[in-house]
Amino acid sequence: MSADLDDIIADFDLIEDWDERYRYLIELGRDLEPLPDEARNDANKVRGCASQVWIETRANDDGSVAFRGDSDAHIVKGLVRLTLAVYSGRTPGEILATDAGTVFERLGLAQHLTPQRSNGVRAMVERIKTDARRLASGG
């Protein structure tokens, strides 16, 4: 796990109240690296999210993959940040082998997200894994 993800998990462990956890998710979203307007395009748009979500994928020289993302909804923006913390900086093979669901379950999010938001998270993860498969095959 990345240090960023470890920090997020540790912070979640300290917060017991779910209203506070949602506020923390919103704060996480505010800390997302800004996504340039030109990256808010159809190619980066995540299908299957009720909110507007964009994820930009970039292969790094060291073989790892970097992601940037954004959303027009505050809590979803936090979920984007959390999802990117799970996957950013990993190789395509590591991304494909990583199950974000275990992190969401560990944080209790699996039980506390609306079905619509859960579907959106699944769509983000599938988009990230699709990009990882493309990169792994040299695309």
Distance between CA 123 and CA 36 in Å, rounded? 22
Q: Is 17 helix (H, G, I), strand (E, B) or coil?
A: coil
DSSP 67-105: EEEEESSHHHHHHHHHHHHHHTTB-HHHHHH--HHHHHH
Q: Is 23 exposed, middle or buried (0-12, 13-18, 19+ CB in 10 A)?
A: middle
Q: Is 137 helix (H, G, I), strand (E, B) or coil?
A: coil
Of the residues 49, 53, 76, 100, only one is catalytic, namely 49
Distance between CA 132 and CA 138 in Å, rounded? 10
Q: Can 49 be counted among the known catalytic residues? A: yes
Catalytically annotated residues: 49
